Each structure stands twice: as structure tokens, then as C-alpha cells.
Chains A and B, each alone.
Chain A
Amino acid sequence: DTEVTQTPKHLVMGMTNKKSLKCEQHMGHRAMYWYKQKAKKPPELMFVYSYEKLSINESVPSRFSPECPNSSLLNLHLHALQPEDSALYLCASSQGDFIGMNTEAFFGQGTRLTVV
């Protein structure tokens, strides 16, 4: 199984809603990532988890709250988002520690989020 599964595939939420994005992998990978991708732009790194601990936060606003409950699961909790937060949210995972990574990262197909 070389899949990273993201749910839901599509999400529409209001600016006062609270929602969560879910990402799951069963490859035994210990590094997991959240990216945000706006239309016609490259993916932007948001967070990196290594061995279930937050290692990198790329100055992401607090309305995005990541969580890594276990080594297979990564969540992104969303609260009080703005319309400009509408984007494709991508999850990825890689083997071992991301420092000095000499391996491929596997990406999910993303959650397309629309904030209304």
C-alpha cells in the first residue's frame, strides 16, 4: 500500500464553521506534511510533523491547527477561515525523519476547500 488517503475530497464551509481535514497513510512513514496550493501556483509548505511531533510551522495563521494523533494519521483543523483560504490542501508522507531525507515523499490527491 503506497497510498496517502485524504478525506474529504471536497469541502465547502462557511467562515464561522469548524471543520477538519484528514490524512492517513499505512506505509510506516514517520514524517508527514501539509501543503496548501492555490490555483496555478506551486504547493506551499504549511507544517511538517516528524515522529508525531510538530517540527516545522511555516508561519501559518492560527486558524489552521494541525494534529498528529498517531503515526498513521494527520489532521488539519480549520476554524474561522476566510474566502482567500480556499485552495487545494495536500498531505504527504515520507519514510524516516525528514532531516537529510534521501527518499521520496508520497502525496495524497488533496482536499479541495471552498470557504464561502
Chain B
Amino acid sequence: DAKTTQPPSMDCAEGRAANLPCNHSTISGNEYVYWYRQIHSQGPQYIIHGLKNNETNEMASLIITEDRKSSTLILPHATLRDTAVYYCIVSFNKLVFGAGTILRVKS
């Protein structure tokens, strides 16, 4: 599975867009990019995933660069409840979690 690199932590003002980057320069052609988040003491929660194209759902948008070597998760209007650890995972099969990014949304 490809390795991912994420910043250890980020801050975001409430109501503003949160843009979380992920570098996956060794991604293979059949590997998907997944984003999960984990709010303190809860199980991880699926956010979004994609292969090549940008994706959007009710929670977030996923922007994947054309060379697929990096991606950005966008939470359009962050709220305090979005404070969590965000994991970017690149995989063809099993989900292997890296260290993730701690996102702190502040009022």
C-alpha cells in the first residue's frame, strides 16, 4: 500500500473552509484515496473516497491532482464538531491508517 504524508495538526476558524492536504507520491494506478476521521473516543467515520476524479458528497469534497500524487480534503464550512483526527489512506484493499492530521476548529 502507498504511504501517505499529512501535516500533524491544523487549525481552522469556525465557518471557514478547512483544507487538509495529503501527499501520496507512490500511489499505484489501482489504489483509491480514502478519507476517514475519528472524533475523540469514537470509531473512525468514513468521509469520502476517489480514484482519479474529484468527488463531492454531503460532508466534503475531495480534490485529487492530475498525477494522483496528492489530494486535498475540503470541509466547506467547518464547525466545532469537525474537530477530529483526519486520516488519508491510499489502498487497493485493506485500510491501513497513518498518523493523520489533528484538525482543531476554533470559534
Same complex origin of A and B:
yes
**A interface residues with partner B (beta carbon < 8 Å):** 4, 33, 42-45, 48, 56, 88, 90, 92, 98-102, 104-110
Question: Once the chains are docked, how many angstroms separate the CA of A42 from the CA of B97?
Answer: 6
Q: How far is the CB of A93 from chain B (nearest CB, A)?
A: 11
Residue of A nearest to B99 (CB): A42
Q: Given contacts A100-B92, A102-B32, is CB(A43)–CB(B97) below 8 Å?
A: yes
The answer to whether B97 and A44 touch across the interface, beta carbons within 8 angstroms, is yes
**A110-B43 in contact (CB<8A):** yes
Report yes or no: A107 in contact with B44, Cβ–Cβ below 8 A: yes
The chain B residue sitting closest to A97, CB to CB, is B93
- When chains A and B are docked, how far (Å) is the Cα of A101 from the Cα of B91? 9
Decide: A45 and B93 in contact? CB cutoff 8 A.
Answer: no
Known: A106-B46, A107-B43. A101 touches B93 (CB 8 A): yes
Interface of B is mostly: loop
A99 near B44: Cβ-Cβ < 8 Å:
no
Q: Is B96 an interface residue (CB 8 A)?
A: yes
CB atoms of B94 and A56 under 8 A apart: yes
The residues of B that contact A48 with a CB separation of less than 8 Å are 94
Residues of chain B from 1 to 56 with CB closer than 8 A to chain A in the complex: 30, 32, 38, 41-46, 49, 51
Q: Is B80 an interface residue (CB 8 A)?
A: no
Inter-subunit contact B46/A104 (CB<8 Å): yes
Closest residue of chain A to B46 (Cβ to Cβ) is A104
Q: List 6 A-B contacts (CB under 8 A).
A: A33-B95, A45-B94, A99-B92, A100-B30, A107-B45, A110-B43
Which single residue of chain A is at the shortest CB-CB distance from B49?
A104
Measured CA separation A103–B79 after assembly (Å): 26
